[in-house]
Structures are given as structure tokens and as C-alpha cells.
Amino acid sequence: MADVSRRGLLVGAAAVTGLAAAGIIAGSVITRQAGRDERGNNWDVIVVGAGSAGIGAARRLIDQNPSLRVAIVEARDRIGGRMFTDRTSMGIPVERGCELVHGGPYADTYPWIKEAGFDMRMFSKNYIRLNNAGDSSPSHAWHAPDAPASWAFPAGIPDGLVRFDPAGEGQPLPEVLPREKADAYLARLGIAPDNIPSGLRYLLTDDAEPLYATDATAVGEVLTACIRYSLHPEEAPEPEKLDPDDPKYNDGDYKIIGGYDQLLTFIADDIPVFLDTVVEEVQHSKSGVELVTSQGTMSARRVVMAVPAGVMQRRGIDFTAGLPDRKWVAFDEFQYSHIFKCLLEFEGQVFTPDGSATWGYAESMDLTPTTLWNASIAQPDYGGQVIVGWETGEAARELHALPLEQKYEAVLDVVRKSAGDPGLRYKKALMTDWANEPFSWGAYGHGGNEKDMSAPTDDVLFWAGMRTSTVTASYVSGVDQADELLKHL
């Protein structure tokens, strides 16, 4: 998940502020359009990789020119790539990879979601708290990220901060030192780590890095709000109510009930997909491309490579005619982030921060993993509960270093503390280590020159996805590359 959306804490002056049907048959081949013996036949376009990018590209090609013979080859025995809805391990379909439609109705994939009529729900009831703030502190109770409790210093506002009250003396906060990090700056102002307001921590550590990796320049506005509203609680703005129908919340997070994979199955529809087909070698020339695969050789006039950057970094595919150095540099400069996602299933509904079954996120700003989310939202007939434990950055790296059972225990510990029940046990636990998954070799990340990575090679090889870190961005890059390819046919 690229961005756990943290909308709502306003900072400013006023408000400080069906696989067979989809043409896919596991075990090898396909489809409505081609039989097994047709695998090697000369295709117009072969797309390598049946993730969001590859399916987006293939769909666009066929929609723009239905006479084109287009096929997808996919190494795994399923489509989806890092979109992996697991329908067998727990009592409801659960997402091992991506889970959320960032932007919901405003996402580029939404027209498909709408056309298919999928049930999509926004995570609109989200909460934070400081676990260690002490039972009587408002910071300890679950509160909305922009509720008055977010501004509170758990142990009271340090005396030294009063002079920075914008409504009082209004002295400006001290200048940030060169390269100073947020934690060091807060310490310099006399704010102890366990006295940092929940909202300040929440806003500054947004799905990226902890305070020690956050630039201190990000602190000022929120800290000023914390000072102001701690001293003048009557001035604190009303918490926002996230409304999926309000375009203001176009960066919200939404879940397709019943499985994200329905989306790609729907888009793929009758496109031929050859599963269990690992592309090992690509031989391209100006006249076309031969793919040496684990199931034999296939040829096409054009190929769209829609594999992750990690596959390229590992030199998992041999490009016998070579690729420009700049392209390899771009792949090698791409950096994967540490992403930790673990699912626990419980016998009953064991945790809710607000008494309802429709909560979205619950983040304990001082626990690891920080974030829990409700993966069984909108499953009224399901008696159990599936909770995701989510972490990013250095904390995620540390979690990944633990043996598997201890990873599960780490998430369980947060659920127990969140639910206030030290005796809780989970029924099932699941996680995928995407950094060590063949055909992925990473969750998602950043870096690598986008232009060099996606530049066509000899007008026959096109490059989609790879560096994109959301489903929508991958899908859009597939569509864009398809349009580019059509100019070169």
C-alpha cells in the first residue's frame, strides 16, 4: 500500500488545519481465443506479466484494436501479481498483497469497479491513540486523528512551550538546524518522546519513516496547533466526517468487498493468459521478438514487459540482444521499501475501537506494528474477524527479521493491547514476504529514472509497471504503454 491515507488532520491557521470465464485456466493455457497448440504462433503483441500493468496494457490494446492478436504470459499459476486475494486460508477472502483502492471513486480503475458493480467501502471511521499515555489521559482513548485529544500533550504541555502559543506571546518556534530530524528537534524543545501528542506523531510518520527519519521542518505547523489547542481547547476544530461522496476525500482508502482480484479478473475478461509460463529469455530485433519460456518459444511483433523492477534487478530474464545501459541503471537505482503486512483471523469479533463493526484503521502511535485495519469490514454474515497488522520503514525491516511465529505474536500483542484482552488468541495467521517472493522480489518502492525505465527499446519492446507502487498507477502505465505501442505497429 503506497499511502495509508492520513487525511483529516488539518493544519493551518483557521483549522490548524471467475477465472475460467476470464479466459484463464490454471496449469498452463487458456482461453477462448487460442488453444495450447497455438501458444507459439505469431502474436501481434505478447504482454509479459498478468499484474495490474500487464492486464491494463492488454485490455487497452484489444479495446483500441479488436483485430489484434494479444496474449499475456504469466509465470505464476494465477493472475494478479502483487494483487493476491487468498480465498482458501481464512473464513473470508483476504488480501495477501494490495488491499485498498486509493482514491476509490476518483481512481482510474473506478470505471471498471462501477461497471462490474463491485461493493466498495471507504475506510471512513479511523482512530489513533497512545497506548502508554495512561488510562485517564484523553490520548489513551481511541480518537479520530483530528479530534481534540490529538493535540494534547499526554503529560501536559511543557512550560517552555507556552511562549510559542500563537494566541499569546506568539514567539516563533526555534529555527530548525541543518539536517535536523523531527525527534531531535522535539527533544531540543523539551518534549519527551512519551509526551509527543498522538496527532503530531500520526501526521509526521505517515506511512513513511519514524520521527528519526522525518525532517524537522515538517514539525512546525502541527506543533503550533498542538500548543494552541492544548492551551485553548475551545478553539480546536470539529473533527471531520469522511464522506465517500465528497470529492474533498479523493485520497481516501476503499476496499472491494469479496476480493480485489475480482477487478483484474473483470478487466482481463476473455484475454488469453498463459499461466505457469516463465519468460526466461527475450530475443528482440527490429522486426519482432521471440520469447523463450518455460513452456516453449513464442513470438510476437511487439512485447510489453510488465514485470516488477525486482525481476529486472535480479537479472531474472536474459535479454540476448542487450538493453541500453541507462535502462539497467534505472532498474538498479529503484529502491524497494520495507513493507510488513500480516493477517490474523480470530474466532469472533474481538476488537473494535468504536463499538462498531465498520471501523477502518486503528493506529497505536507507540506500538509496532503501528497500524491495524479491519479486513473483515462489511462482512455481516461472518462471525469471525480478520485484522491486518501493517508497518513500514525501519520498523517493518525489524519485524521482518523476526522468525515467522514471532511476527504473528508481534501483531497479536498489538491486537491484545488494542482490545484490552491479554488472553486473546488467533485462529489463523498469514503473511507473504514480498521481498523474497520469486516474480516480485519486493513490495513496492521508489527511485529509478522513470523515463529511462519506460523508454521503448528498438520500437519493439515496451515497458509498463515495474516502478509503480499502486494498482492504479500500474494500470495507468499499462494503458499508456499500450497507446505508445499502437503508434509503432
Binding site for ligand FAD (CB under 6 A): 1-2, 48-54, 73-76, 81-83, 97-100, 102, 278-279, 306-308, 311, 316-317, 339, 341, 434, 439-440, 443-444, 465, 468-472, 474
Neighbouring residues of 116: CB distance < 8 A, sequence distance ≥ 6: 262, 263, 266
Q: Which three cell numbers stand for residue 275?
A: 499461466
Name the residue among 72, 78, 73 with its Cα closest to residue 27.
78
Name the residue among 107, 34, 46 with its Cα closest to residue 476.
107
Going across the sheet that includes 339-346, the strands are 127-129, 361-364, 371-374, 385-392, 339-346, 428-431
| CA 131 – CA 185 distance, rounded (Å) | 23
Q: Which is nearer to ligand FAD, 317 or 486 (CB)?
A: 317
Handedness of CA 164, 169, 170, 171 (dihedral sign): negative
Q: Which is nearer to ligand FAD, 111 or 193 (CB)?
A: 111
Closest approach, Cβ 83 to ligand FAD, in A, equals 5
Amino acid at position 234, single letter: E
Q: Which three cell numbers stand for residue 129?
A: 491513540
Burial of 383 (0-12, 13-18, 19+ CB in 10 A): exposed
Closest approach, Cβ 364 to ligand FAD, in A, equals 20
Closest approach, Cβ 78 to ligand FAD, in A, equals 8
Counting Cα atoms < 13 Å in the Cβ hemisphere of 345 gives: 18
Q: Which is nearer to ligand FAD, 197 or 478 (CB)?
A: 478
Q: Which is nearer to ligand FAD, 33 or 313 (CB)?
A: 313
Closest approach, Cβ 407 to ligand FAD, in A, equals 13
Neighbouring residues of 283: CB distance < 8 A, sequence distance ≥ 6: 289, 290, 291, 292, 320, 321
Q: Which is nearer to ligand FAD, 157 or 256 (CB)?
A: 256
| CA 88 – CA 75 distance, rounded (Å) | 21
Closest approach, Cβ 433 to ligand FAD, in A, equals 10
Burial of 270 (0-12, 13-18, 19+ CB in 10 A): middle
Q: Which is nearer to ligand FAD, 113 or 279 (CB)?
A: 279
Q: Which is nearer to ligand FAD, 53 or 152 (CB)?
A: 53
Closest approach, Cβ 207 to ligand FAD, in A, equals 10
Closest approach, Cβ 426 to ligand FAD, in A, equals 19
Closest approach, Cβ 134 to ligand FAD, in A, equals 34
Q: Which is nearer to ligand FAD, 228 or 327 (CB)?
A: 327
